[in-house]
Amino acid sequence: MVDSIICNSIKNLELKEGRGTAIAHHGEILQGMFEDAGKLFRGSVTLPCHIFGSQASFFPKKNSSKIVVDPEWKIKSKKAAELTLKSLGVEDIGGRLMIKSNTPLRLGLGSSTSDVNASILSVANSLGVVLSPVTIASIAVKAEIATDAIIFGERAVLFGHRDGKVFEDLGGNFPPMEVLGFNSDPDGEGVDTLAFPPAEYSWQEIEMLRPLVGLMRRAIYEQNPKLIGRVSIASTEINQRFLPTKNFDSIKNIVRKVNAAGLQASHSGIVVGIIFDSNDVDKEQKIHRSLSLLKDIGYDNVWRFRTDKLHLEAGL
């Protein structure tokens, strides 16, 4: 919750152009149904990705309640701006919200979440307010029904993407990893995340997911990319029943051949990543061989990013 003292002080501030920047993500390391206080929740651990993201600019206007967004189809961002003003107790300010993004749509990269987070940050910035990640996440989930934990940056958290809250802080940041990412179905139409029905996990699958949370905690504590890879491959295999990854067995075979740390995929999209330990002395050789093997099965549009570099790259 925003401190009431901060809200009251807003009325005395000079309005200014507000700016916000948010990174995207690269799908999930872990996703499923988990237990908290005897109740099940839908949770995920997302993999942050700094090479994609959004920048938002908010131009506030006094004595107005209307927000105009550009591009006009980004209605989730507009709603996020409106909810941010409401959460701050502001009723007589509207304005223009401009969004720029380089995140490909319908791949499962969190394009709408990065738009929404950037929008929330830009509105708060225009009012001179700094919102906590917890508050931003609670606003974001109201704006887009399901959101992701990318506002928490490199911090590994088990996040309720339909609750908009952290159910467990996993104890630290992701270990240094490099990822080769690609669209696993470049000739397809992608996935409309909100139109995609939530996975209905069996009790056996829920039990299979349970120990992966403990393994994830250990991976973060030990800063061990190999353990991250074990979690992500297991989670991806469980979720294949709901959205099969094209060429999944062939991609897994590449991971095995080059002895990469693991494989991760968007559980509600078509993006896939091969994970490497940034500190592996043979990393560059493994990456080079992976690129060649990926090309052999039709993937020549591949990007590369690190998990310990989370400042959004310029050029939007």
pLDDT tens digit string along 191-243?
887 777 889 999 999 999 999 999 999 999 999 999 999 999 999 999 999 99
Neighbours of 282 (CB within 10 A): 12
Backbone angles phi, psi at 117, to 5 degrees: -60, -45
For residue range 256-308, what is the model confidence (pLDDT) as tens digits? 999 999 999 998 899 999 999 999 999 999 999 999 999 999 999 999 999 98
**What would the mean pLDDT of 76-88 be, rounded to a whole number?**
97
**What would the mean pLDDT of 5-14 be, rounded to a whole number?**
55
**Type of residue found at 26:** H
Q: What is the pLDDT of residue 185?
A: 94
Which residues are bridge partners to 95 per DSSP?
60, 67
Q: What is the pLDDT of residue 184?
A: 96
Average confidence score pLDDT of the chain: 93
Q: What is the pLDDT of residue 190?
A: 85
pLDDT score of 7 more than 70: no
Q: What is the pLDDT of residue 304?
A: 97
For residue range 94-144, what is the model confidence (pLDDT) as tens digits? 999 999 999 999 999 999 999 999 999 999 999 999 999 999 999 999 999
Neighbours of 47 (CB within 10 A): 28
Sketch the domain layout of the chain as residue ranges. Answer: 4-306
For residue range 84-93, what is the model confidence (pLDDT) as tens digits? 999 999 988 9
pLDDT score of 312 more than 70: no
Residue 112 CA: distances (Å) to CA of 22, 147, 197, 210, 302: 11, 8, 17, 29, 22
Is the pTM above the cut of 0.85? yes
Q: How far apart are the first and last CA of the chain?
A: 32
Q: Token pair for residue 253?
A: 């075979």
CATH code for 4-306?
3.30.230.10
246-256 CB burial, b ≥16 within 10 A, e <16 = bbbeebbebbe
